[in-house]
Amino acid sequence: MLILDRVSKTYGDDTEAVREVSFELQPGEFAVVLGQSGAGKSTLLRCINRLVEPTAGRIALDGEDITGAPPDRLRTLRRRIGMIFQNYNLVGRNSVLTNVLAGRLGYTPPSYALLNHFSPQDVEEAHATLSRLGIADKTHRRADSLSGGQQQRVGIARALMQRPRVILADEPVASLDPATVESILETLLDINRKDGVTILCNLHVPELARRFGRRILGMKAGDLVFDTTPDALEAAQIDVLYDMPVSL
Ligand SMILES: Nc1ncnc2c1ncn2[C@@H]1O[C@H](COP(=O)(O)OP(=O)(O)OP(=O)(O)O)[C@@H](O)[C@H]1O
């Protein structure tokens, strides 16, 4: 279970990106954080794995405090939290396989990691994961030679290699065409259902949030303004989020 308790992040003196946000995610949930650009979605997600240090509040995963964890403990906790980025965050000149194996770095002794030395089991798992995601034929290609959708699949494969309890997906489909958007979100849903991985996914498109999220957390100007299900989500709530009428 992931618990956020009054989490806040202020950048500098006065940019309150996230203000006292609290919620709990049960294992296996698929939750979407919905909000317009600048609402604080990305900051919120990054607070969870402490890519951004929260200014206040507490975050815990499976009863373990993330917010107060010292560096070595944080490294262990981060293994359980995979992250997927809008811009994929791959090392473009490295092969797809090397990028996917990077998901095992949290489990690899630092001296081995420096040499990109991974166990045969890790390599086997990377191949199996690439097959599962339908890009086995790209295994030895440079990551930057792939299409956006294929690169995002590499990002997802890398996250899966962590054997995560939770995947944080920060606008994972914002740069993709409509057909690829569908297939990437279907892939995340499949991982959620089959592997039981809890997913917290930032999206700015209400229609996608409603179709793929099993729970929708609305953020506006740093505040969590609603926490509801797709069926209960009302058009008026969306309009408030975007300060304009948005048809669903
Ligand atoms: N590193 C930073 N330093 C200062 N201010 C920041 C930083 N990162 C984000 N902000 C500010 O925090 C607020 C929330 O930004 P954030 O990126 O979290 O929102 P978002 O909802 O994810 O939007 P987007 O989808 O456009 O990234 C914005 O006002 C933004 O300008």
What confidence tens digit (pLDDT) does each residue in 28-62 have? 999 999 999 999 999 999 999 999 999 999 999 99
What gap in Å lies between CA 160 and CA 81, rounded to an integer? 10
Q: Say what the pLDDT of residue 44 is.
A: 98
With the most atoms of ligand 1 within 8 angstroms of its CB, the residue from 14, 15, 33 to mutate is 15
Q: Comparing C-alpha atoms, which of 212, 216, 173, 215 is closest to residue 189?
A: 212
Residue 43 Cα: closest atom of ligand 1: 18
Residues present in the chain in total: 248
- Please list the ranges in the chain whose pLDDT falls under 70: 109-115, 247-248
Check which CATH number belongs to the domain holding 57 and give it: 3.40.50.300
For residues 51 and 149, membership in a common domain is answered with: no
Buried b (16+ CB within 10 A) or exposed e, 41-61: bbbbbbbbbbebebeebebbb
pLDDT for the residue 110 = 66
pLDDT at res. 118: 84
Judge if 73 and 2 occupy the same domain. yes
Contacts of residue 92, defined as CB under 8 A and 6 or more positions apart, other chains included, come to: 142, 143, 144
Residue 35 contacts residue 87 (beta carbons within 8 Å): no
Tell me how many domains the chain contains.
2
Ligand 1 binding pocket, CB closer than 6 Å: 11, 15, 17, 35, 37-43, 171
- Judgement on whether residues 152 and 188 belong to the same structural domain of the protein: no
At residue 114, the pLDDT reads 63
95 DSSP 8-state letter:
B
Residue where a domain stops, chosen among 163, 187, 210: 163
Q: What is the per-residue pLDDT for 225?
A: 96
End-to-end CA distance of the chain: 31
**Bridge partner residues of 166 (DSSP):** 81, 198
Q: How far is the CA of 209 from the centre of ligand 1 (A)?
A: 20
Best of 32, 43, 48 for a ligand 1 pocket test (most atoms within 8 Å of beta carbon) = 43
Q: Do residues 82 and 162 touch, judged by C-beta distance below 8 A?
A: yes
The alpha carbon of 155 is separated from its chain's Cα centroid by a whole number of angstroms, namely 10
Q: What residue numbers bound the domain in which 227 lies?
A: 1-80+164-248
Pocket perturbation via mutation, ligand 1, pick of 18, 21, 32, 41 by most ligand atoms within 8 A of CB: 41
Instruction: Determine the pLDDT at residue 247.
Output: 65
86 falls within a domain: no
